[in-house]
Amino acid sequence: MAFTNGLGHHIPIEMSANNTSLGGGHSYPYQEAAFYGNVFSDPPKAFFCVGKDFFSVGSGATQPELRACSGYTDANGNPSCPYVNTGACNFEPRALLKSRKCLFWNGAATVCTDEMRGFSFNSLWMHPITTYRLDKTI
């Protein structure tokens, strides 16, 4: 899911995940998003939250949303995003657990929720992939 790119533009990303060979460190400076879910379930469940360097209140579509959702259509040819945008991964103020979509350790999301209202233990997804970008342009 982290490689998704409906527009087909070449966008270099670096992926980070805990407890994998992807490691917790990264050399790309901008946290783009965290992708999580299960594309093998029926129906597939795919989510992302917008990383701290790409989220701004009231700015419309975000760069991660454009990369994840643009270019996809449903069976009738209508625009259709295969992912659910759950909002900011860690909305300010960071101390409020209810505003968090993911918990992070060493720069990588460790667990995320698909709840739009904030962190919920009823809908946890383990092993998300956090993406980082070299720049902030598409």
Instruction: Answer yes or no: is 8 within a domain.
Output: no
Instruction: Answer yes or no: is 56 within a domain.
Output: yes
Instruction: Answer yes or no: is 5 within a domain.
Output: no
pLDDT mean over 7-30:
77
Q: What per-residue confidence (pLDDT) applies to 118? A: 57
What's the mean pLDDT when you consider all of the chain? 79
Instruction: Answer yes or no: is 34 within a domain.
Output: yes
For residue range 6-16, list pLDDT tens digits in order: 777 788 889 88
Q: What per-residue confidence (pLDDT) applies to 34? A: 93
Predicted model pTM: 0.82
More confident residue, 9 or 133: 133
**H or E element in which residue 38 lies:** strand 30-38
* Adjacent-strand bridge partners of 45: 38
pLDDT mean over 31-54:
89
Instruction: Answer yes or no: is 19 within a domain.
Output: yes
Q: What per-residue confidence (pLDDT) applies to 94? A: 47
Instruction: Answer yes or no: is 126 within a domain.
Output: yes
For residue range 56-98, list pLDDT tens digits in order: 765 566 788 888 888 888 889 888 888 888 888 876 544 455 5
Instruction: Answer yes or no: is 138 within a domain.
Output: no
Instruction: Answer yes or no: is 3 within a domain.
Output: no
Q: How many domains does the chain have?
A: 1
Query: Which of 111, 115, 114, 116 lies closest to 128, judged by CA?
Result: 111
